[in-house]
Amino acid sequence: MYQELDEILSENSSEDSWYDDGFTYCQELLADFTDEDWKAVSQNYSAKGDKWKIRLAYCIDDDLGSKGLELLLNMFDENDEVVETVIDSLRSFNLPEYKNMIATNGKVINKANKLLEKGSLPVKRVLEDFLRNIS
């Protein structure tokens, strides 16, 4: 499954095409991931380009459970654009145990606050919502 996900995320398709079709397909693939697939994506994402990482982060939501959450939390060392997408995806993790994992992660809170200082208005709104809802 990981190989198939990698191919879809790596496609040189237009953003419209990817968000219309590729996004849904990637979510379906992620829903069927085995522990080995999660291990592969966790070991390999850092070597991928920003577009790949943004697409991956965009596909992860609370339906993927703790494996998806762990991956998103590990992506906080990426560049600001990737982290902004990661934070947007983290907003879907509403179960108390997930919120607690996010809220107690100092790296997440620090990065969100730093991005808030310099973000565009739409980014600031996402960050404000994120910070408000995890406390």
What is the domain count for the chain? Answer: 1
Give me the long-range contacts of 88-91 (CB less than 8 A, separation at least 24): 88/57, 88/58, 88/126, 88/130, 89/57, 89/58, 89/60, 89/61, 90/130, 90/134, 91/126, 91/129, 91/130, 91/133
Tens digit of each residue's pLDDT (9 = 90 or more) over 81-97: 999 999 999 999 999 99
At residue 128, does pLDDT exceed 90? yes
- pLDDT value of position 15: 79
On average, the pLDDT of the chain sits at: 93
Show the domain range for 84: 2-134
- pLDDT value of position 64: 94
Q: For residue 129, what pLDDT band results from cuts at 50, 70 and 90?
A: very high
